[in-house]
Structure 1
Amino acid sequence: MKQGTQSSAGTGLPDPRTRGSRVPQQPRAADVDRNRYLADGSGDVRGEHTHSETPIPRPRAVVQRSSVRGQILDALRTALAGGELTPGEVYSAPALGDRFGVSATPVREAMQQLATEGAVEVVPNRGFRVVERGARELAELAEIRALIEVPVMLRLARTVPAARWADLRPLAESTVRAASSGCRATYAESDRAFHRGVLALAGNEQLVQIAEDLHRRAQWPLVGGPVTRGRADLVADAAEHLALLDALGAGEWDVAQSLVREHFAGTA
């Protein structure tokens, strides 16, 4: 999927009118919060300069205030997976807030979470830079995921009843539809949901959380290019989900074992 068009005046932001990963506009009270945020000096303390950034049209609809930070975090993760946030580019919280129609505060909080996860890094007096990473890091993440998930899946293949695997078919079919759309961000979300559903059968919440964190990091964009896997790769990947469930439901252990190993070998 192509990256969004960069806006002018140094924002480094894609045009929100051309992308799908947007949080709807917040009520007018959000503007009051933003003005209060600027008036109390907290914006200046952060040192993020906004005078050179061109205002970005706000999307429509309304953000529920109780979930603003979570929605912004989800939107930023989607933008990362879809390549809208470019590796090496610096984004300020006020400019992103203008894009999403919220104050800078929830954006900054969401960016701090992404910094904790390693997706971005804080740039003093400017904002947050999207971390640059290469193919080697992607290969390392794939190796770690395989070390964790493959043994668990193979154990589940021998112990989980066929009917339980059938329950996961809607998740697998969702990945097929997402892959057919060609949208990398949409596929990334559905792919994580499928793997999360499989691993949840192990009954180990810590395992699920660790595996999901690794999976999300593996979906961040590489430096020097928009994406590493095209639509055909996504479609093939999604087809393996259905094939795996078919094998597991039929009790074909050898086939399932081969599919699991091949699936992770192709994630790098």
Structure 2
Amino acid sequence: MAESRHLALPSFARWTSVREEVANVLRGAIIAGEMRPGELYSASGLAERFGISATPVREAMLDLVKQGLVEVIRNRGYKVTVISEADLDQITQIRHLLEPTAAAEAVPHITADELVALRELASAIVDAAAEGNLVSYINADREFHIRLLSAAGNHRLVRIVEDLRAQTRLYGLSALVASGRLVDSAQEHVEMCDLIASGDAKKLKKLMSTHLGHTRREWAGRSPE
């Protein structure tokens, strides 16, 4: 992610502060691999690219420090935390244990209004994939999955999944955009909505498991060892 590149701040209705908006955009950039370990990032440099003051950027970076996504380099700035391949494999394994079952349990609790919101997010995911906007893709994807899992009512599980998703790295997304295959993966969210509408929790669980498998295969740019 070049220093001169402008960073846009999308305005999702539930976001309540510039600090939170900045944190979400940076988190998405880290997960998508647009901000990589080894590069030094300054609050002032990032603020210039956002077109805002440095204060909310510093606050957002401190939030990401607490999540373990970045580390402070004294008197210099911030670096993205290194996550090993073994860590990523373990994160994916835990997500496989939690998310498919939680998604299936959420099906009977999802209201018509909530399904409409999920369909809108699924469309946003597909649009972002088609445009090659990885940060928007990651943020819409996160919103979709958290909304879906939240319907089951287990808020502790949702917080755990949020932390695990934040630690995931998807360095293969750029290659998928170039090949046009990211749109195919994005369409799985539309399929999930259709399964929710039909009340088919069993098929949703299977699709969610398949969907998560992408995180350590093509989305990560490698195959599991």
TM-score, structure 1 normalization: 0.65
Question: Is the 1:178–1:186 Cα contact (8 Å) retained in structure 2?
Answer: yes
- Against the structure 1 CA distance between its residues 208 and 81, is the aligned structure 2 distance closer, same or farther, given a 3 Å change threshold? same
Deviation per CA, 1:88-133, whole angstroms, max 9, x where unpaired? 1122333334444445443322222111111111112222112233
2:143 to 188, 193, 197: 193
| Residues 1:265 and 2:213 aligned together | yes
- Mapped to 1, the partners of 2:102 and 2:184 lie a distance apart of 23
Higher relative contact order (CA 8 A, sep 6+): 2
Q: Greater helix percent: which structure? A: 2
Assess, with a 3 A threshold, how the Cα gap between structure 1 residues 236 and 23 changes in structure 2: closer, same or farther. Answer: closer
SS at structure 2 position matched to 1:267: helix
Q: Considering only CA atoms, is the larger Rg found in Structure 1 or Structure 2?
A: 1
The residue number in structure 2 matching 1:53 is none
- The whole-number CA distance in structure 2 between the counterparts of 1:204 and 1:123 is 37
One-letter amino acid of the structure 2 residue matched with residue 116 of structure 1: K
Q: Which residue of structure 1 lines up, in the alignment, with residue 76 of structure 2?
A: 126
DSSP 3-state at the match of 2:152: coil
Aligned to 1:95: 45
Q: What is aligned with 1:70?
A: 20
Shift in alpha-carbon separation, 1:106–1:229, aligned structure 2, 3 A: same
CA contact (8 A) 1:82 1:183 kept: no
What residue is the counterpart of 1:217 in the other structure?
167
SS of structure 1 residue aligned to 2:124: helix
Q: In the aligned structure 2, how far is the partner of 1:70 from the partner of 1:254?
A: 35
Matched residue count? 208
- DSSP 3-state at the match of 1:216: helix
Which among 133, 137, 159 is matched to residue 183 of structure 1?
133
Q: Which residue of 226, 230, 234 corresponds with 2:182? A: 234
In structure 2, do the counterparts of structure 1 residues 87 and 217 end up closer, same or farther at CA, with 3 Å as the change threshold?
Answer: same
User: CA-to-partner distance for each residue in 1:168-224, whole Å, 9 max, x for gaps?
Assistant: 322222222221112211110111111122112112333323322322321x465xx
Residue 128 to residue 262, structure 1, CA distance change in 2 (3 Å) = same
Structure 2 unpaired stretches of 5+: 11-15, 217-225
Aligned-pair identity (%): 37
How many Å separate the matches in 1 of 2:112 and 2:202?
Answer: 19
Question: Which of 145, 153, 156 is the aligned partner of 2:95?
Answer: 145
Q: 204-213 or 107-116, which moves further after superposition?
A: 204-213
Note closer, same or farther for the CA distance 1:151–1:133 as it changes in structure 2 (3 Å cut).
same
